[in-house]
Amino acid sequence: MSTNARIALKLSDKTFVSVYHHWDGYPEWLGVVLTEQYNKLESVIELLSGGDMSSCWSDNEYDSEKQEWVKVDPRPTYYSERGETAPPRIARSITEFLDHCDQCGGEFGYVYDKGEWFAYETTDRTLVDIPEEIEE
């Protein structure tokens, strides 16, 4: 099972550009990774420019020649690497963004706005806290 999510950047015109994130979308992992690794506008733009993804911070990659998983430096794993076209989506409001979350089965939606990450629980559309570090 996965915990699906969407990751968005709120633009100056109050629209949202977002991508789908498949694995570990709960705040205790994805929220923490976003705040730790993607805490500058430039890094958020770069992350979203790759489109939909399995994970924004994976240190495993399948080596088809070796037929096994190998360790790599952490990086996003985009669906485009598998030949899929999955560009970012645009929403005209927070409500439409959360609708996009619902449409992809997303349990959480993350919005980067003015240098800060915000997490929404999509079922009741409320803000939830992002922990300061990954809880083990």
Dump pLDDT digits (tens) for 39-88: 999 999 999 999 999 999 998 887 778 888 889 899 999 998 778 888 99
Q: Tell me the two tokens of residue 83.
A: 């030949």
Domain count, the chain: 1
Sign of CA dihedral 5, 47, 74, 82: positive
> Range of 119's domain?
5-128
Q: Is the entire prediction scored with pTM above 0.85?
A: yes
90 found inside a domain = yes
Residue with tokens 């003015």: 114
133 found inside a domain = no
Average pLDDT, the chain: 93
- Rounded Cα–Cα distance for residues 12 and 31 (Å): 22
134 found inside a domain = no
Q: How many separate helices (H) and strands (E) can be counted in the chain?
A: 3, 8
46 found inside a domain = yes
Strands (E), the chain: 5-10, 16-21, 53-63, 68-78, 89-91, 108-113, 116-121, 126-128
